[in-house]
Amino acid sequence: MTNEQRPYTIALDAMGGDLAPAEPVKGAVLAAHRHGVRVLLVGDPEAIEAELARLDHDHLPLKVVPAEGVIQEGGSPARSLRSKPRASIAVGVGLVKAGRADALVSMGSTGATMAASVLALGLFDGLERPALGGPFIGLAPTTSIMDLGAQIDCRPSQLLGIAALGCTFARYFLRIPNPRMGLLSVGTEAGKGNRQVQEAYPLFEASGLNFIGNVEGNELFLDKADVVVCDGFVGNVLLKYTEGLGRAAALALARSLGPDSPAVHQLNSIASTAESAGGPLLGVNGTVIVGHGKSTGEGIANAVGRAKDALAIGLVDAMRDELRLVLGRAGAMEAAPQGS
């Protein structure tokens, strides 16, 4: 609980996301109001000022930091960053690196945010990639699932790193004292699963984490585990599947029951949890919150609030410490090959 007194400064990628810059600017105004933070709006000054002019923001601690261009989804993020070194996400991460901002929030390309963050801020020792995750199922709002697409084709030691980050995230961020952590698999017995899960199992058992064994797909809804670990390929498929299913189910019910039926609203929340939640990029030496590209001002203000929470609880330091401890116990830091 550090520095509760001084207001935090949050850099916000004003050009990132499908609804930029209008919604990020709205989000900044809301966040400054609600969360008592300073917000640095990073992007094209003219476009940002035009949006600000529509809103009541007198006396709010907002500042525009100029950047040139934005990195869109698709393509190679690393290549895009090289060709646009002054893009909003690069400038935003630079503010955190230089200590001019305490945290960064972006609704833009997740790949670009990851790449820029890793490049500028670096990863915790023992990691090769950051992790993405958190609760995204409306019906299981405290069950964190990770990785959601940052780490694909994980070695067992990578899965363990994700587990360590996830358990710290759940303990600090979701305030679950001793999170139950499981491996997503196709059967509950220790031998069940693909090679990756089978090889990770003994490592998880030796980790000192509260490992409860394998968790099957249906058990995500049965409050069996607080943190469920999977390869980013599987997690990303599940995340997008859940969004698609929520939207399709709400649409089907709206067609038969009318769009204002309470059932439709309830079902929409299955999909919207996935869309509105901004989660921290786990494993980088800095506080970076990544949100959904379709986020509106409301969701963006929430993401800024999450950045503030992460700072207030010292999430990054806690995760770094926990990762070192867990990888050390499992002997996984030694086992991890260099490079690759």
CB 210 within 8 A of CB 167: yes
Q: Which of 167, 270, 288, 336 binds its own copies (CB under 8 A)?
A: 270
Range in contact with its own copies (rule: CB under 8 A) among 7-15, 51-59, 79-87, 180-188: 180-188
Q: Which of 32, 91, 137, 300 binds its own copies (CB under 8 A)?
A: 137
Task: Answer yes or no whether residue 221 interacts with its own copies by CB under 8 A.
Answer: yes
Size of site (CB under 8 A) for its own copies: 52
Task: Answer yes or no whether residue 190 interacts with its own copies by CB under 8 A.
Answer: no
Q: Which of 13, 243, 275, 322 binds its own copies (CB under 8 A)?
A: 243
For residue 214, the cross-strand partners are 183
Task: Answer yes or no whether residue 147 interacts with its own copies by CB under 8 A.
Answer: no
Kindly state the smallest distance separating residue 289's Cβ from its own copies, in Å. 21
Task: Answer yes or no whether residue 257 interacts with its own copies by CB under 8 A.
Answer: yes
Task: Answer yes or no whether residue 202 interacts with its own copies by CB under 8 A.
Answer: no
Kindly state the smallest distance separating residue 52's Cβ from its own copies, in Å. 34
Per CB under 8 A, residues contacting its own copies are 74, 137, 139-140, 149, 152-153, 184-187, 189, 193-195, 197, 216-222, 230-234, 236-245, 247-249, 252-253, 256-257, 261-264, 266-267, 270
